Structure 1
Amino acid sequence: MSASEKERENMSLYSVLLVDDEEEVFQVIMKKLDWEGMGFRIAGYARNGVEALEMAEELSVDVVMTDIKMPYMDGLTLCRKLKEQYQKIKVIIFSGFDEFEYAREAIKIEAEEYILKPINANELREVFERIKNNLDKELDEKRNIDKLREYYLESLPMLQENFLTSLIDGRIPEDSIEEYAKNCSLTLKGPYFVVTVLHISTTNPMEGALPIDPFLLAVSVKKLAEEQLAASEYDSKIVTYLGDGIVITQLPTEEAITRFTDCMDKICKMAKRVCKAKITAGIGHVCSGPEELQMSYLGAKNAVSYRVLYGNTRAINIAEIDPQENADLPWEEPFIQKIIKKVKVGEEQPLLDAIAEFTEKLAGSKMSLQRYRILIMELITELSRFGANNQINLEDVFGGNGDVYTRAMQLESTDALREWLCENCLKLQKQVQNERQDTTKSFVSKAIDYVKEHYADTDLGIETICGYLNVSAAYFSTVFKKETGKTFINYLTDYRMEEAVELLLTQNEKTYVIAEKVGYTDPNYFSYVFKKQFGMSPSKYKTSRMEAAQEA
């Protein structure tokens, strides 16, 4: 079987994470059943609850089977945290303790099953058969075409849809918005608003995804997003417009946008697993009234265009990736907007194509000389404004010999104009890329410097660093891994281990003291991480290094 065939087969199987601190238990459980025959695969195994919680996010598992008694985090605590973070995950608890309190707690935190050791193969098979039936039903509900059609007709009243799309298009007079909203049974209290564009990639569908009409796929994604947002703290309305899902959200504070960005990022990742769809959530600027939603929508569309840089299946907040982007910029011509967008995104050929499209349209337009001059001035003005907003030295782009407007007006044909624009826009694009790379490196450098200064803080994590940098976890994680090749948690662990080695070799301290100095409150967990990193305990590592030094 080829690698691609194996991957497709794995995608059709539900994934299981086994959690137990005794490795032989893994082996026994794995041998008891024909997992693939039942529709499951073992995605991995963890030796404690802390490790399992990290792996559950990384592996996107469907089922977690965990022991109760484990170091660092027990199975009941793990189950509680999994249910808090991943509503759809199924948890099976197995234990050697036949105590009523354990079973009652397992029921309270909505574990699927509570099984006593030693595990009986027939009983375990029956448990997984029940879980598979439940998982199948949940997937069928989301993929059933007839139900999706019915849901769409029932849940999207035409009156509300027309109002909301007209609102983001700026077609409703400001003094009429409140009355229109009331007539449509919509409440727009805010006090803050933001528009999100859910863009579905149809040109490069996921391998193994079932063929489905793009319209129905959009409905499936919309339903998933509505379910997740209904369970969140945000008051959101979702409509379908120009092939995309448009989410209009009311926020309690401006600062809530970072949490909302992370919420949308989780929805994108869930859509990949549940709907087999690649989704980009472009998030616009936060605004202070429904009359400003058109500008937030423009920012959201711009954010979606950055997926070629940051990838799809994630949320992209325009205020984070392009702080200088002006949401109030009144684009007067669509081709000017297109050229500016292509300069921003950073790909050479699409920019050249946009310029060619502009000059071809210009050549066949039969416009007056006066209108031609105004149009060229508009384009150069927007390019200059964009460069200035991004701290670009415009003399490095357009040159310092004479007035740039005069030089552009003196070009004798649209072909000459196209060559001039290509040359200068490519320069501008390169300058923007360099500035963005410098900004990104500075961003990551701040995070690394913060780790170096605060690695001993036991509470240091993604939430802390994102609070310090004032960005969402989704954006931070993407940028940090892109620049360093590591997740933030892996980088922090590696740095703490480097410092631990230095302390081990230079100071005569107990292991628990060193653990505390590098940010670990539990010396046993510190030893576990150290052994996982270096293959031996801290004391053995120190002894081996000292012996090696003496021999040398």
Structure 2
Amino acid sequence: MYTLLLVDDEEEVTQIIAKKVKWNELGFSVVGHANNGLKALEMLEEIQPDVVMTDIRMPYMDGLELCGQIREKYPATKLVLFTGFDDFEYAKEAVHLEIEEYILKPLNAAEITKVFEDLKKKLDQEINEKKGAELLKRYYKDSLPLLQANFYSTLIEGRVPEEELGKYITNYEIDFAGPWYACIIIHTSTTQAPKDIDVQLLAISVDRQAGERLEEKWRGKRFNYLGDTVMIVQLESKEEVSELTDSCDRFCKYVNHMIGAVVTVGVGQVCDNILELVKSYQSAREAVSYRVLYGSNQAINLKEIVPKRKVATEAADGTELAHLFKMICLGKKPDVKSAVERYMEHKIVPTKSLEKYHVAVMELISEMYHFMVNNELDAQKLSGGAGQLYTLLSNMEPQVLEKWLLNLCLALHEDMANARDHSKRSLIDQAKEYVHNNYQEESLGLDDICRELGVSNSYFSSIFKKETGKSFVGYLTGYRMEKAARMLVETNEKSYMIAKSVGYTDPNYFSYVFKRQYGVSPSKYRTEYENI
């Protein structure tokens, strides 16, 4: 079933369309109705329908303006216009909006049926093309040339000598204009893949879609590395990383909707030197691993979720200690306990001499200290200084040392979780304060608050909804309406003046929103309060 959103300010029209056409037989499901363009945009963010069928003449935002907004934000959505004869030529001038079909009023069930039969075939063809195995193989052959891919892999591994960098870029005809760079990692889940498609073909399809939807806009260099798609992107400014994160988040939602892939995009730190991309790649890889805390099917920017976190480095002793640090950051308490046991079993218990035991303890203290400093954790937990601590630990039996290490790691695990929660609460508090100080501005919206806070729209929207139970737009509207309601009962100001003072230049739209919030018009609200 493809999804359809109907938009018309006359509710009886949408009801007739919904009832008279046999949508289920056509392969469509009507998932909602909106009575104006602004309301339709709100619903689009939530349901992202395959098709929007809209009238032209509507209050607050007409159908053509709505189509323009949809084409910009949701380019995959199909658009169908129905309109009166007088608006037909006017509508046809909007060829740049790529309208699928125009239907003249009065609406005819047979004509609508024919339009949507053709539209169904077109949608089916697009889906089949995305999933077709032969096309996926061709996508794979169209990947970046081998020499370029090898160079990009070597670059993010930090193995390109500085004196040879220019030669590689010139010989391989690579455009690295910058001036800012970052790595993103596109990870396709193999455990949540659709049952009817091979996971390797699914990953290839995601890789190709990344090329089509992200590569040109971000001047990306795309290649496969360690089973994931990696893209080196180029930015005009360091602050543009928030827009990049939003773009990646929309990409995750798109491929999930179109081909059923569950994708996480890790966004790495921004750098102004190509040779620093090794650090950007490391932070992007770490961001992807945070999907165990924040969920898949989204973009994760490490600087947003743990803004003070420095780029992690591999523990000197290798796998066991690196795994322990990862569990402190991402795991649960049982995971931390298992990681401590694993470390002790592989690194401490096997030591056969006192000298080796002392060396292992010294390495442990050093790596724990660096881990805590890198994550801005309280180093006082390693009390007494390195020398005194070494003396204490090197005289412990392995069982006692394990207990000490477990208690320390559990404390650090709790500190990391508290730091993340504090960061979220601080961000929400800043957002609310910004609303309280700027709600009078008509243009105030999600873009403004995210620009002020320096985070992406997708991350902010996600945590704001999770922490407050409301969308940001819903919170802003509610706050404005509370202020308006108070002014209605505490002042004698005209309704249109109150509307302006809370950010609405259109008094009719203000009345519409107020009635939606309180169930009565502003004038009736004031009258009812005065009669209490």
Q: Quick check: 2:82–2:104 contact (8 Å CA) kept in 1?
A: yes
Pair 1:349-2:334 in alignment: yes
| Contact map agreement 1:197 1:301 (CA 8 A) in 2 | yes
Q: How far 1:457 sits from its partner (Å)?
A: 1.1
Q: Aligned partners of 1:430, 1:124: CA distance in 2, in Å? A: 59
- 1:290 aligns with 274
* Bigger mean CA offset, 180-189 vs 475-484: 180-189
Distance in 1 (alpha carbons) for counterparts of 2:81 and 2:283: 46
TM-score (structure 2 length as normaliser)? 0.94
Distance 1:363 1:83, change over 3 A: same
Contact 2:348 2:360 in 1 (8 A): no
In the alignment, the residues of structure 1 paired with residue 466 and residue 496 of structure 2 have an alpha-carbon distance, to the nearest angstrom, of: 34
Count of aligned positions: 530
1:302 corresponds, among 279, 286, 296, to: 286
Residue 344 of structure 2 corresponds to residue 359 of structure 1: yes
Whether 2:186 is the aligned partner of 1:201: answer no
Distance 2:309 2:363 in 1: 18
Please name the residue that 2:491 is paired with.
Answer: 507
Structure 2 counterpart of 1:490: 474
Shift of 1:529: 0.9
**Out of 38, 47, 54, which is 1:66 matched to?**
54
Please state how far the C-alpha of 1:328 moved relative to its aligned partner: 6.9
Are the counterparts in 1 of residues 351 and 357 from structure 2 also a CA contact under 8 Å?
no
Secondary structure of 1:155's counterpart equals coil
* 2:201 aligned residue: 216
Q: Tell me the distance in 1 between the aligned counterparts of 2:312 and 2:408.
A: 25
Aligned to 1:7: none
Report how far residue 347 of structure 1 moved.
Answer: 2.0
- 2:311 partner SS: coil
Per-residue CA distance 1:402-452 (angstroms, 9 max, x = gap): 933333322222x44333221110011112222222222111101111111
CA distance in 2, matches of 1:353, 1:172: 38
Q: Is residue 174 of structure 2 the alignment partner of residue 174 of structure 1?
A: no
The 3 A distance-change label for structure 1 pair 245 and 515 is: same
Q: Post-superposition shift, 1:356?
A: 2.4
Distance 1:375 1:182, change over 3 A: farther
Counterpart for residue 404 of structure 1: 389
Partner of 2:412: 428
> Partners in 1 of 2:190 and 2:370 — Cα distance?
34
CA change 1:236–1:62 in 2 (3 A) is same
Q: 1:512 to 1:367 in 2, by over 3 A?
A: farther
Aligned mate of 2:465, from 481, 490, 493: 481
1:86-165 paired onto structure 2 within 5 Å:
86-165=74-153
How is 1:364-383 mapped onto 2 (pairs within 5 angstroms)? 370=355, 372-383=357-368
**Contiguous gaps of at least 5 residues in structure 2:** none
Distance 1:243 1:393 in 2: 36
Deviations 1:76-132 (A, max 9, x none): 111111111111111111112334532322434211111111111111011111111
Which among 426, 429, 432 is matched to residue 445 of structure 1?
429
Letter in 2 for 1:384: Y
Flag the 1:328–1:189 CA change in 2: closer, same or farther, 3 A.
Answer: farther
Task: Decide whether aligned partners of structure 1 residues 48 and 369 sit closer, same or farther in structure 2, where only a CA change above 3 A counts.
Answer: farther
Instruction: Supply the distance in 1 between the matched residues of 2:258 and 2:151 (Cα, whole angstroms).
Output: 30
Equivalent residue for 1:46? 34
Residues 324, 389 of structure 1: 8 Å contact kept: no
Distance change (3 Å), C-alpha of 1:368 and 1:187:
farther
Letter in 2 for 1:259: E
1: CA distance, partners of 2:122 / 2:441: 43
Instruction: Give the share of equivalent positions with the same residue, in percent.
Output: 45
**2:78–2:99 Cα contact (<8 Å) kept:** yes
1:9-37 Cα deviation digits (max 9, x unpaired): xxxx1111100111101110001211111
> Residue 75 of structure 1 aligns with which residue?
63
Instruction: Provide the rounded CA distance (Å) in 2 between the counterparts of 1:145 and 1:326.
Output: 42
- The aligned residue for residue 21 of structure 1 is 9
> For residues 345-400 of structure 1, what are the alpha-carbon distances to aligned partners after superposition, in whole Å with 9 as ceiling and x for unaligned?
252222222222222221575587555544443433343344345554344x4456
CA positional deviation for 1:203 = 2.6
Report 1:411-422 matches (<5 A).
411-413=396-398, 415-422=399-406
Q: 1:104 to 1:479 in 2, by over 3 A?
A: same
Q: How far does residue 211 in structure 1 lie from its aligned partner after superposition?
A: 2.7
Q: Residue 303 of structure 1 contacts residue 317 of structure 1 at CA under 8 Å; is this kept in 2?
A: yes
Indicate conservation of the 8 Å contact 2:6/2:34, yes or no.
yes
Residue type at the aligned position of 1:69: R
1:532 matched to 2:486: no
- Asked whether 1:229 is paired with 2:214, we answer yes
Measure the CA separation in 1 of the matches of 2:344 and 2:303: 32
TM-aligned CA distance change 1:482 to 1:404, over 3 Å: farther
SS at match of 2:425: helix
CA shift in 2, pair 1:140/1:386, >3 Å = same
> Is the 2:357–2:394 Cα contact (8 Å) retained in structure 1?
no
**d(CA) in 1 for partners of 2:420 and 2:469?**
18
Going from structure 1 to structure 2, the CA distance change for 1:289 and 1:75 (only over 3 Å counts) comes to same
Structure 1, gaps ≥5 residues long: 1-12
Letter in 2 for 1:311: G
Distance in 2, Cα, partners of 1:182 & 1:78: 46
**What is the TM-score when the length of structure 1 is the normalising length?**
0.91
Secondary structure at 2:391 match in 1:
helix
CA RMSD after TM alignment: 2.1
1:186 is matched with which residue: 168, 174, 192? Answer: 174
Aligned AA (2:112): L
Partner Cα distance (2:355, 2:241) in 1: 45
List per-residue Cα deviations over 1:140-166 (Å, max 9, x = no partner): 111111210122023243222222222
Contact 2:242–2:455, Cα closer than 8 Å, also in 1: yes
Cα pair distance change 1:509/1:163, threshold 3 Å: same
Q: Distance in 2 between matches of 1:406 and 1:470?
A: 46
Alignment partner of 2:300: what SS? strand
CA contact (8 A) 1:15 1:63 kept: yes
- 1:98 aligns to what SS in structure 2? helix
Change (3 A) 1:270 1:361: same
Counterpart CA distance in 1 for 2:185 and 2:400 is: 38
Q: Which residue of 2 aligns with 1:257?
A: 241
